Amino acid sequence: MSQGVEKQQLKKTMNAFQGMMYVIGLVIGSGVFLKPSVVLTNMGSTGAALLVWIFGGLITIAAALSIAELAAYIPKIGGLYTYLVELYGETIGFLFGWVSALVNAPGTCGAVSIACATFATFFVPMDGTQQKIFAISLVILLVIAQVISTKYGIWLQTIATIGKLLPIAAIIVFGLIMGTANDISFASIGNVESAGTGVALLGVLWAYDGWVTTCTLAADMKNPEKDIPKAVVVGILFVMGVYVAFNAAIFNVLPGPVAAGSEKIGVDVCRKLFGEGGAAFITAGMMLSVFGTLNGMLTCGARYTLAMGERNHLPAANVLCSLHPKLGTPINALIFQAVVSILYILTGTFNSITNLIVFVLWIFFNLGIFGVFILRKRTTRNPKLYHVPLFPVLPIVGLLGGCYLLFATFKDSPSSALLGIGVTLLGLPVYYYCKKKKTLPTTK
C-alpha cells in the first residue's frame, strides 16, 4: 500500500445510536414484508412459522453477541472480512470479502431497489423497463449523496429507520387488538407444497440479514471498540421483537391459508385493518423500509470494497481504496458498488439471490463465531472491552444453529447450496491472479 493511501482516513462521524439505526435499517427491509408467507408455506402452520422466526432470531442473536467481541478487539474497517483475515489468513478473508463486495452487498442493493420500484407501482403505474430505470435512479441518487458526505448517508439512514417503523408499529398494535382471525396454532393450513424447514429458515435469516455489515463502519465510528458491539446487540434484540410481534399480528388478522397465498402480505393485512387508505400507508412504509436498506448496504458494501482495496485484494486496488481528496469519502468504492448493483437490477434476480446470499454468508458467520475461541487464545483479555456473555454457551448455540442451517439447506435446497459454494469458489482464481501479479502482500 502506498504511503498516500495509508494517510487517508474516513471521517469519524458516527455514534452508537446511529450505528444501532444502521443495524435496524439494514435488517428491517423487504424481508419482513415479503418472507412471512414463504416461511408459513414451508412450515405448514402458523405456530410452527412463529417458532422458526424465534429460532432464527435466537441464532442471529447468538452469532451477533459472539462476533461483536471480534468487533471490540479488531475495530478496523472491513468488519468480518478483516476479522477473518487476521484470524484465518488472507485466503479465507478474501473469499468472504469477495462474496460481500460482489454478491451480498450489491446483490441486496439490486434486490431491494427492485422491490422499492415494485412497491412504487401502487402509486405510479410502471412497466418492467420503467421499474428498472426507477431502481437504477435510486442507486445513483444515494451514491451521489454518500460521495458528497458520509453524514448524508447517516442522516438518511436514521430518518428512514424511524419512518419505516411507523407502519410496522401500526400493523402490530392494531393487528393484535383488532384482528379477528386468531389463527395461531399448529394445525395444518392445508393445500401447500412444503419444501422443508431449511427453506423456511433461509427465508427467516434473509429477513434478519444485514446486521454484520455494520461492523464495516469501524473507521466511521467515534468509539468503535464499544459502539459497534452495543449497536449490533441492541439492534438485533429490537429487530427480533419486531419480527415476532409482526408475524403474530399477521396471523391474528389473516387466516393461515390466506396469509400463505399472499404476495404482499403487509398490504393485504393493512387493507383488512384500514381499507385502501391503509394500503397506501403501508406501501409507502414498505418503500421507505427498502430505501433505508438500500442506503445502508451501499454504505457498508463500499467499506468492504475499500478494505479489500487497502489490502490489495482486488485488481485496481489503489483506485478502489482511494478517498476523495476534499470530501474524505470512498468515492471509487461507492461507484464500484453502484455499478455491480445496477448489473443485478438489470438481471432482475430478487428471488433467486436471497437463498444464495444467506447460505454463503452463514458459512463465514460460523467461522466468525468460532473465531472468538481463536481470539481468546491469541489475545490478552482487556476488561474495558465487550465480551460475549455466557461464554462458551452462546458461541456454541450460534455454531449449532448455523451448522443446522447449512445441513438443512443441503437437504431441502441442494441447488442453492451448491450454487452458493460455486459462487464463493469463483473468487479463488481472482485471488491467485492478484498473487501472480504481485499485487498482494506476502503472507507471513
User: Where residue 228 sits, what CATH number does that domain have?
Assistant: 1.20.1740.10
Alpha carbons 124 and 121: distance in angstroms, whole number: 5
> Is 441 contained in some domain?
no
- Residue 30's domain comprises 3-436
Measured distance CA(12)–CA(14) in Å, rounded: 6
pLDDT tens for the chain, residues 1 to 444: 333 334 455 566 677 787 787 778 778 876 777 788 888 888 888 888 999 999 988 898 889 888 888 988 887 777 788 899 899 998 998 898 888 878 888 888 888 888 888 888 888 889 888 989 999 999 998 888 877 765 655 666 667 667 777 878 888 999 999 888 877 888 777 655 555 677 788 788 878 877 776 666 666 677 777 787 788 788 888 988 999 999 999 999 988 888 888 877 877 888 888 888 777 877 887 787 778 778 777 877 787 787 777 777 777 777 777 777 677 777 888 888 889 889 888 876 555 566 667 788 889 999 999 999 999 999 999 988 889 888 999 999 999 988 988 888 787 778 778 888 888 898 899 888 877 765 445 444
Q: Are 217 and 207 in contact (CB under 8 A)?
A: no
Residue 443 is assigned to a structural domain of this protein: no
Burial of 259 (0-12, 13-18, 19+ CB in 10 A): buried
Q: State residue 7's pLDDT score.
A: 44
Identity at 426, one-letter amino acid code: L
pTM: 0.74
Is residue 246 a part of any domain in this protein?
yes
Enter the DSSP assignment of 14: B
444 is a domain residue: no
Distance CA 268, CA 273 (A): 9
pLDDT of residue 366: 94
What pLDDT does 185 receive? 82
How many domains are contained in the chain? Answer: 1
- Look at residue 442 and tell me if it is in a domain: no
pLDDT number for residue 369: 94
* Position 37 in a domain: yes
Q: Is-contact 280 123, C-beta < 8 A?
A: yes
- Let me know if residue 33 belongs to a domain: yes
| Residue 124 belongs to a domain | yes
